[in-house]
Amino acid sequence: MHLISDNLEVRYVGAAIAAGASIDGNSSRIDMADYESVLFVSTITDSVATGVATLKVEENDDDSDTGMAAVTDASATKTCASNDDINGTLLAVEYRLPSKRYVQAVRTSSAANIAYGEVIAILTPRRKPAVQGATVSDLAAVSN
């Protein structure tokens, strides 16, 4: 029997972002050469009515923010209907078999304030077992 951590790599790729109505915050870029897919996850920690929270994926052939392009349909969006109604929820976007080598998550906000927690990337490596990277301080995996 295999543990989930044998098959997936977890990475911290983006710090929390304070509330703002025009956020445009990029995560760290990920080199997808040895990976099949990536799932980006970010929490929404505060929201104001009419605020629009979006998490999208961008890609590029180069390890550079310059030239990053949005991936079609790789976007999750939620609009806040009343103050705080989407607090404690998350946005998640998965991108499988990217057409470019480097990817990043981008969190945006519009219309009214949205605040975000950290961004976590969950990667499916081509080779298993997965090896956790430097952003994982420790991992305990138990099976009875």
In whole angstroms, what is the distance from residue 9 CA to residue 23 CA? 28
Question: Can you tell me which residue has the tokens 């009515």?
Answer: 49
Domain 4-125: give its CATH code.
2.60.120.380
Q: Specify the pLDDT at position 71.
A: 98
pLDDT, one tens digit per residue, over 9-66 is 999 999 999 999 999 999 999 999 999 999 999 999 999 999 999 999 999 999 999 9
The answer to whether residue 1 scores a pLDDT higher than 80 is: no
Mean pLDDT of the chain: 96
In whole angstroms, what is the distance from residue 57 CA to residue 71 CA? 6
Q: Specify the pLDDT at position 143.
A: 85
Written as six digits, the tokens of 65 are 């923010």
What are the sequence ranges of the domains in the chain? 4-125
Query: How big is the CA angle at 139 (ends 135 and 143), to the nearest 5 degrees?
Result: 155
Residue 38, beta-bridge partner list: 95, 123
| Cis peptide, bond prior to residue 129, ω within 30 of zero | yes
Question: What is the enclosing helix (H) or strand (E) of 20?
Answer: strand 17-20
Q: What pTM did the predictor assign?
A: 0.95
Q: Specify the pLDDT at position 96.
A: 98
